[in-house]
Structure 1
Amino acid sequence: MKTVAIALAATTALTALPAAAQELNVVGSWSSLPLNQQYETPFWTETLPANSDITVTMTTHDQMGLGVADVYRLLGQGVYDVGMTVADYAVADAPELEGLDVPLVATDAASAREMIEAARPMVEDIYADTFNSKVLAIAPYPPQVVFCNAEVGSLADLEGKKVRASGRMTAKLLEALGAEGINVAFSEVPGALQKGVVDCAVTGAGSGYSAGWWEVSTHLMPIPLGGWDPVVTAMNMDKWNSLDAATQETIQSQLKTEFEDPAWATAQTALENDIACLTGQGSGECAGDVRDMTLVEVSEDDFAKAAEILKSEVLPGWAERAGADWAQRWNDSVGQVVGVTVATN
C-alpha cells in the first residue's frame, strides 16, 4: 500500500506540472518587405510568445536561400514548423491555387478580403492534400501594380512589351493583352529592368519602393493587374496535430486579431501612401525620399477591356489547368462574391 501511495503521489505531482512550452521554427516571407517587417516578425517573435507558452525561432526564406517554390514543399516534409510566402509561388504543384488571387476582380482591400475569405475553404483543402499543412492565415501584399522602364500611357501600351508577372494567372492575362509574360525572380527584377530583359514588372507599390524599383523605372501604372498576391501562413500538419486544442486555439485567435486583421486594415491606405512616395503625387509617410515616377492613370475603357479578357480567356484557361471540379467549386464560392462565373467544359 505504501508503494502504491508513493506512485499515486508521484503521478499527481507530474500531472500538476505545467505543460512543456511549445517551440516553433518559423520561416517568414521576404525579409525586406513591409509585410514581414511590420507584421510577420513582430507577431511571431514578440506578440505570440508574450501571450502564450510558445517560443519561436524565426528566419525568412530569402535569408535561408530557399527557392520560393520549395517553401511549402519543405514545410510539408517537416523541415520547419511554420512557413509563409506568396501562394502563387506554389501553383506549379497546385494549379487550382491560382483561383485564390484573380486579378482585376477586387479593386479595394475590403472586396479583396471578401474574395480571399470565400476562397479559404478551397485553400485549406489544397494545402492539406498537397503540402501536408494547416492554413493558419492569409494576409495581403498591397495590390500588384505595374512598374515600367518605358514610355506607357495606357494599358494598351503594354502590347509588345516584355513584362515580369507576379503569378501565373497574371502572366496569362498579360499575354492575352499582347504583352510577353517573363518569369523573373523578385530579387532579380531591378537588374532585368535596367538591362532591358523586361520593359515592365508587376509587384506591390510598397514592395517596389522598398526594393528600389524606382531607380530603374520611369512610369507607374496603379491598376491591380497582379491581384493582391496573398501570403499564406501554414503549419506542418503533423506539428499542428501534435498540439493540444488550447494551443491550437491560441495560435489561431492570436493570428486573426494580431496579424491578419491589422495587415488587412492597412492594405488600402498602404497603396495610396506608396503611390505618393513613388510619384510625389499626394502625401505619404515614406521610409526614404519621395520619388518622381510618372503616374499613369488607366482609363475605364482599358480596365473594362482587361476585365473582359480575364473572363473570356484567362479564367477558362485556368479551369482547364485546375479541372472542372475546382472551377465549379470556385464558381460556387469566389464567383458568387465577385460576380464572375468561369465557363467549364
Structure 2
Amino acid sequence: MLKSIRTIAVATVFGALASSALAQEVTLRFQHFVSPNSANPKYFIEPWAEKVEADSNGRIKVEIYPFMQLGGAAPEQFDLILDGVVDGGWVIPGYQAGRFPEAEAMELPFMVTKSAEEASRAAWAFTQKHLMDDFADVHVIAAHMHGPGIVHKKGAAVAEVADFEGLKLRGPSRPATLLLDKLGATPIGMPVPQFPESLSKGVVDGGVITWEMSPSLKLDELTDSHTDVAGDKSLYNLYFIWAMNKDVYESMPDDLRAVIDANSGLETSAWAGRAHDTGDKVGLEAMTASGNEIAVLSEDATAKIEALGADVTAEWIAEVTKRGMDGAQLVKDAQDAVAEARN
C-alpha cells in the first residue's frame, strides 16, 4: 500500500513538472528608438506584441521599451540583439554604413513606390534572396520599408534642384546622403533621435524623413515647409528589420516558436509597412493643419532629381561590384521584387 502511495506521489510530481514545462512562460524584452506614439510602434510593434501574447494564450509576454530604454543607441541595435543585451528590437541596418551593403539596394533613390505596404512586401522578398546570410546571427521576424521620404526645411519649400544648393540636410542612410550630395546640399547623417535638437540648434536647415515621424519630432514647429516629389516613387526610403536574439528564439519550446513563426514573414512585413502608410496620413494631416507650406515638386523638377538618382544608382553598382558583389543584379532583383509586390 505504501509503495502504491509513493508511486502515485512520484507520478503526480512528474506530471506536475511536465505540465509546468508545457505551460512554460517566456518574457521577451524588445526595444526601439522612437516615441511609442510613432506609427510603427503604435500600429505595428504594440499590436504585434499583443497578438503574440494572445496567440500563445499568455505564455509569451512581450515587453516593449521605447527610446532605447534598455540601453545603447539606435545605431547599436543590431549588436544589442546579437549579444543578448535585449531579446529583440527594431533595426535600421543603414545606421551602420558599409556593414550591410546589399540592403542598400532597396534604399536607392526612386527604387520603391510610395506605398510602404508594397515596398515592405518587396523588402521581405529581397531579404530572403540576398540578406539572410548577413542576418544569420539573429532571427529575422520581418523586413520592411517606411513610406516616402519628404524634404522638411526651415523657410520656403524647395521648388527646383537649385534650391537644394548649400542646404545642410539630415540624411538617414548612405543612399539618401549620396542623393542629397548630388542635389548640391550638404548631407549630415544622423539617427532620428538627433534630428529635432539639430534643427533647433541650427546644426541643420532641415532633412529628409517621413510624414509619419513629423508630429512626434515636432516638425510643425521646427520647420516651415514640407516637399514631396511628383509621381508614385519615393525620393528615398529606409529599410528595417524586426528581429530577435537567435539563442533566445531557439531556446523557446517548439509550440512557442511556432507562435513567433506564425507572426513572422511576408504578411507580418506587409503589416509593418501598412503601419507607416497609416502614420503618413496622420502626419500629413497634422502638418497641413499647422499651416506650414505643403508642396509637391513639378514633374520636370522631379525628372531632374530622378536623373541624379540614376547617377547615384550607377555609382553604387560600380562601388559594390568592386567589393566583389554583383551590383547590377542586386538592383535588378530589388526592382523585380518591387514590380512583383505591385501585382
TM class by shorter-chain length? 0.7 to 0.9
Match of 2:280 in 1: 271
Q: Does 1:317 align with 2:322?
A: no
- Name the SS of the counterpart of 1:78 in structure 2: coil
TM-score (norm 2): 0.82
Match of 2:35 in 1: 31
* Shift in Å, 1:77: 1.0
Match of 1:79 in 2: 85
Match of 2:164 in 1: 158
Match of 2:334 in 1: 334
Match of 1:287 in 2: none
Match of 1:307 in 2: 306
Match of 1:118 in 2: 125
* Shift in Å, 1:321: 4.3
- Name the SS of the counterpart of 1:80 in structure 2: coil
Say if 2:52 and 2:260, in contact at 8 Å, map to a contact too. yes
Match of 2:55 in 1: 51
What is the CA–CA distance in structure 2 between the aligned matches of 1:159 and 1:114, rounded to whole Å? 35
What is the CA–CA distance in structure 2 between the aligned matches of 1:159 and 1:142, rounded to whole Å? 25
What is the CA–CA distance in structure 1 between the aligned matches of 2:75 and 2:183, rounded to whole Å? 27
* Shift in Å, 1:146: 0.9
What is the CA–CA distance in structure 2 between the aligned matches of 1:326 and 1:41, rounded to whole Å? 38
Amino acid in structure 1 at the alignment position of 2:308: I
Q: Does 1:41 align with 2:46?
A: yes
What is the CA–CA distance in structure 1 between the aligned matches of 2:51 and 2:93, rounded to whole Å? 24
- Name the SS of the counterpart of 1:62 in structure 2: coil
Unaligned runs of 5+ in 1: 280-289, 340-345
* Shift in Å, 1:27: 1.5
Q: Does 1:238 align with 2:242?
A: no
Task: Pick closer, same or farther for the CA change 1:137–1:319 going to 2, 3 Å.
Answer: farther
What is the CA–CA distance in structure 2 between the aligned matches of 1:91 and 1:318, rounded to whole Å? 16
**How many residues align structurally?**
323
Amino acid in structure 1 at the alignment position of 2:250: N
Q: Does 1:170 align with 2:176?
A: yes
TM-score (norm 1): 0.81
Deviations 1:243-297 (A, max 9, x none): 3443222112234699544443354454344223212xxxxxxxxxx21111221
Q: Comparing 245-254 with 77-86, which one deviates more in the overlay? A: 245-254
Amino acid in structure 1 at the alignment position of 2:292: M
Task: Pick closer, same or farther for the CA change 1:12–1:266 going to 2, 3 Å.
Answer: closer
Unaligned runs of 5+ in 2: none
What is the CA–CA distance in structure 2 between the aligned matches of 1:253 and 1:329, rounded to whole Å? 31
Task: Pick closer, same or farther for the CA change 1:314–1:12 going to 2, 3 Å.
Answer: same
Say if 1:142 and 1:267, in contact at 8 Å, map to a contact too. yes
* Shift in Å, 1:176: 1.2
What is the CA–CA distance in structure 2 between the aligned matches of 1:114 and 1:56, rounded to whole Å? 25
Amino acid in structure 2 at the alignment position of 1:307: E
- Name the SS of the counterpart of 1:197 in structure 2: coil
Task: Pick closer, same or farther for the CA change 1:301–1:194 going to 2, 3 Å.
Answer: same
Task: Pick closer, same or farther for the CA change 1:317–1:262 going to 2, 3 Å.
Answer: closer
Task: Pick closer, same or farther for the CA change 1:196–1:307 going to 2, 3 Å.
Answer: same
What is the CA–CA distance in structure 1 between the aligned matches of 2:314 and 2:12, rounded to whole Å? 64
Q: Percent identity?
A: 24
* Shift in Å, 1:105: 2.1
What is the CA–CA distance in structure 2 between the aligned matches of 1:310 and 1:259, rounded to whole Å? 30
Choose from 137, 141, 152 the match for 1:136.
141
Amino acid in structure 2 at the alignment position of 1:297: V
Deviations 1:150-195 (A, max 9, x none): 3334241112211111211100011011111112342332332234
Choose from 206, 210, 233 the match for 1:204.
210
Choose from 69, 87, 98 the match for 1:63.
69
